[in-house]
């Protein structure tokens, strides 16, 4: 219908029967959905961390421009030529070393702490910034650059250990067994996601009443199946992105903007809705 088309253009599904033309109105509605939902999942991507000084790997001039992933970020390549992976890893390690959580991360933490909601964060990011900000229930879909292990003796490495390894001649060796098969806990292309990550994320998505996508282009599989999974389980969907995605028609609420700007505003609306 014509009304349906109007709602779609304004970024909200027609079932709400609301004419929301202003971002502020959408934030108010999303705040109300947060208030009404007992279980919420934030699904965050690269756009969440851009304001922390970590560029989107896929953007022009990003990491994949300098290090094509089919060469440097394949698990098979890491096993055969670990020095290639570590060349890229040095740049990533330098990015993570100085990165701090931004206002978007902090707004999510405040939402967790001040409202008795079950909030789970599923993140595609490897920067560990949700944890550093203080979020307690975080599932890192693509692993973390702040911990690591040796594939031969299974020795675990801390963030400080990774930093020390990065300062060795490449590729670094495991201090315990001298193996070259050491790497941060980032999931490379061709590497299986850990079972606990798959099951934990599916469980959270199927149980949530509201899924809020923040800063994700929704192009990386299998993580990009999460919005459809939530929708199929009956959850409401909200997208907060700087750019449009191929899945925008799934969203009940579509807000165009940067995470560090939109999320603090959303938090204010949630506080006002709770008064």
142 flagged as catalytic: yes
Instruction: Report the 10 Å Cβ neighbour count for 14.
Output: 14
Residue 112: burial class (beta carbons within 10 Å; 0-12, 13-18, 19+): buried
| Three-state SS letters, 74-136 | EHHHHHHCHHHHHHHHHHHHHHHHHCCCCHHHHHHHHHHHHCCCEEEEEECCCCCHHHHHCCC
Question: Position of tokens 């890491």?
Answer: 78
Comparing CA positions, the residue from 215, 214, 204, 31 lying closest to residue 111 is 31
Question: Position of tokens 């851009």?
Answer: 50
Residue in 105, 130, 142, 269 annotated catalytic: 142
Instruction: Report the 10 Å Cβ neighbour count for 166.
Output: 18
Instruction: Report the 10 Å Cβ neighbour count for 248.
Output: 17
Question: Position of tokens 């890192």?
Answer: 140
Comparing CA positions, the residue from 44, 5, 9 lying closest to residue 254 is 9
Active site residues: 142
């Amino acid at each position: 219908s014509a009304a349906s088309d109007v709602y779609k253009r304004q970024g909200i599904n027609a079932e709400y029967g609301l004419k929301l033309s202003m971002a502020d109105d959408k934030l108010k509605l999303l705040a109300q959905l947060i208030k009404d939902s007992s279980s919420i999942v934030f699904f965050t991507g690269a756009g969440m961390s851009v304001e922390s000084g970590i560029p989107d790997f896929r953007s022009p001039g990003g990491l994949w421009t300098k290090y094509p992933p089919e060469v440097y970020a394949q698990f098979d390549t890491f096993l055969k030529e670990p020095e290639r992976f570590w060349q890229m890893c040095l740049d990533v390690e330098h990015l993570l070393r100085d990165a701090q959580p931004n206002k978007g991360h902090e707004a999510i933490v405040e939402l967790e702490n001040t409202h008795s909601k079950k909030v789970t964060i599923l993140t595609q990011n490897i920067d560990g910034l949700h944890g550093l900000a203080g979020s307690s229930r975080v599932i890192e879909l693509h692993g973390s650059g702040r911990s690591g292990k040796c594939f031969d003796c299974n020795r675990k490495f801390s963030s400080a250990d990774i930093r020390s390894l990065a300062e060795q001649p490449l590729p670094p060796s495991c201090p315990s067994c001298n193996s070259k098969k050491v790497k941060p806990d980032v999931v490379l292309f061709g590497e299986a996601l850990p079972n606990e990550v798959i099951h934990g994320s599916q469980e959270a998505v199927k149980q949530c009443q509201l899924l809020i996508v923040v800063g994700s282009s929704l192009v990386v599989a299998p993580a990009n199946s999460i919005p459809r999974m939530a929708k199929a389980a009956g959850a409401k969907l909200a997208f907060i992105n700087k750019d449009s995605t191929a899945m925008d028609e799934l969203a009940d609420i579509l807000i165009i903007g940067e995470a560090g700007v939109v999320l603090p505003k959303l938090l204010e609306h949630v506080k006002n809705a709770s008064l």
